[in-house]
Chain A
Amino acid sequence: MRSTLARAGLLMPLTLFLVFFLVIPFLNIVILSFYTYSPTSIWIPKLTIENYRQLVEGSFITVLLRTLWLGLICTVICVVFGYPLAYFLARAEPRVKSVGLFLLLMPLMVSAVIRTFGWLVILGRNGLVNNMFHAIGFDRVGLLYHEPAVIVGLTNVFIPFMVLPLMASIERISPSTEEAARNLGASWFDVFRRVIIPLSSPGLISGCLLVYSAAISAFIVPALMGGARVQVLGRLIYDLLLISYQWPLASAITTLLVVATGVLISVALAVTRHSAKQEVSR
């Protein structure tokens, strides 16, 4: 009796809140994705799979493939820059580490708009990079509004998602394991390849999945740095919803992305949990 009361008091408020503001909105989206589009009344409640059929058509496939491709490139770059940083932070002395974490968390917590704005200033026609080119005698070039600009922006915004799980994973590797490898003749490259990467693979996997799932649903960076050319799923949803009012189609895309990220994230969590269990049994 008492515990029922406690349960009601402690857990019910949030559960109800989430049912109203999380579960119902997403159920609504799933339902809408099966409704029929109407140019006059936006949707009519007639069930159809037309919206999903449209997803396999040429124009959408192009956007989908571009989004997945950009996500992949962004993930790879995050690994390249994230591994050394994660290693450095994992092995740094406490004071250096807390400064390093601050400098990593700060950009993460500042709105993506502001970070993207910074890149606009750096890469713009009259920006920092072009000014340097100009100063050494080159012509000004359009660095923005191409895929590379979007990749720079995405990588920059999402790299903390890679570094944090990687760092946690590397912290669990005993430094003497690395020293043993060094002692046995391993170059640092060998140490990374044969010791650190295999032993931090859970962190690597969850970092990659987090970055990838964030990158394929990014909106701000492509919208501000991609110009008209770089259309991606996130922008497509925004445009379909707020500009062309094709809600059923937008719902279908959203449903697809929710399912995709759901799968990616559960894999990441399963990997983390599995390795945590192994840790215990070790």
Chain B
Amino acid sequence: MIGPLSFSVGAGEFVSLLGPSGCGKTTTLRCIAGFETPSDGGIYLDGDRIDARPPNRRNVGLVFQNYALFPHLTVFENVAFGLRLRRCREDELKQRVQAALDLVGLPQLAERFPKQLSGGQQQRVAIARSVVLEPRLLLFDEPLSNLDLKLRVMMRAELRRLQQRLGKTAIYVTHDQGEALALSDRIVIMSNGKIEQVGTPLEIYERPATPFVADFIGSSNLFNGEIVANSATSTSVRTETGLVLQALPTPGEIGSRVTVMVRPENIEVASENSTNVENLISGDVEEKTFLGQDLHLKLRLSEKQALSIVLAGRTARTHNAGDRLTFSVARSHVYVIKG
């Protein structure tokens, strides 16, 4: 069961549908492409209602997770497939296919068969095959998930460049938040068939609308608690374990239940000479993981509460497991989520 859900995408915009597997993002995309028909509601493209149209009458380009190239056709014929269906003239067809292959950087592989290509090359052919038809909308269904990490990062940048050069509106489904954050103008976060939040990558990262989003995007320390004081300069929240944290003023009744989010990288070591020390938190270092650039600490605050902290790796020498340390968090980095 998916929905009800509603979102809109502006012309030329790159929007990602992001969520854990089974959240309904792929089904949503398949509804837009026409492989599934929603039981209720409508889908509009440039003002035309398209949800009753069969997939072959929508002219939205879809790039598949497994590329879905036609194994019995050459690269050239794969790209020419849609043009042939549209009875395109032979000379124009040749020229357009060649242009599409140039665009994705594969001009010399036209006579190969898909199985003779690498994963990255197959992906480019799949993109060329869609783009050559000048679709009204580009859809991507986890297109990079079958590539290895290095290639994935490279293709990611290339995809974005391509989309901007073509000026096409794009909807991109992924479960990889890194991809979504790097590529998108806006992100739609979904969970259990519902939309959790729609926003720019920065908004979603810094001001998650729900605890789910806060937990799903990046890593975060989440505390359940209630508002105990509210003034013009700050809102105070007491967590269930008794910690009191100051945040920027947030509207909310005193006593209402909230969740507080603190990103691990926003926690600093409290130094004695620092003037503006807010939200001092003390605890014992329980685990220390040195990752080169970063140092990850797990700080035990109480029996039920621990805090994840990310510090710059060069401070690694100064902290050891078992040390008792004090940290601070600026109130601008304490974010109150309602509900």
Contact = CB atoms under 8 A, between A and B. Distances in A.
Contact flag (A, B; Cβ within 8 A): yes
B55 A179 contact: yes
A23 B228 CA distance: 95
A179 B133 CA distance: 16
Which of A174, A183, A185, A194 counts the most B-chain CB atoms under 10 A from its CB?
A: A183
Given A182-B55, A185-B85, A194-B81, A282 B133 contact: no
Contacts of B59: 185
A177 B55 contact: no
What is the predominant secondary structure among interface residues of chain A facing chain B? Answer: helix
Given A194-B81, A282-B115, A183 B71 contact: no
Interface string A178-215: 01111111110010001100110000000000000000
Given A186-B56, A282-B71, A181 B66 contact: no
Nearest to A178: B68
Nearest to A184: B82
Contacts of B33: 179, 183
B61 A183 contact: yes
A40 interface: no
Given A182-B56, A185-B85, A177 B61 contact: no
A275 to B, nearest CB: 11
A184 B84 CA distance: 10
A174 B68 contact: yes
Contacts of B205: none
Interface string B121-139: 0000010011001000000
Given A183-B62, A185-B56, A282-B115, A177 B68 contact: yes
A53 B43 CA distance: 73
A281 B126 CA distance: 21
B293 to A, nearest CB: 39
A185 B69 CA distance: 15
Contacts of A174: 66, 68
A41 interface: no
A184 B129 contact: yes
Given A179-B62, A180-B64, A185 B70 contact: no
The range of chain B's interface size is: 20 to 34
A28 interface: no
A176 interface: yes
Interface string B43-75: 000000000001111011110111011111000
Given A190-B85, A194-B81, A183 B66 contact: no
A190 to B, nearest CB: 6
A198 B74 CA distance: 14
Contacts of B55: 179, 182-183
Interface string B113-154: 001000000000010011001000000000000000000000
B34 A182 contact: yes
Contacts of B34: 182-183
A196 to B, nearest CB: 11
B35 interface: yes
B304 interface: no
Contact of A185 (B35, B68, B82): B82
Contact of B81 (A176, A181, A282): A181
A199 B72 contact: yes
Contacts of A179: 33, 35, 55, 62, 64, 68
9 contacts: A174-B68, A177-B68, A177-B69, A179-B35, A179-B55, A179-B68, A181-B81, A182-B56, A199-B70
Given A180-B129, A190-B85, 15 more contacts: A174-B66, A176-B64, A176-B68, A179-B64, A179-B68, A182-B34, A183-B34, A183-B56, A183-B62, A184-B82, A184-B85, A195-B70, A198-B72, A199-B71, A281-B115
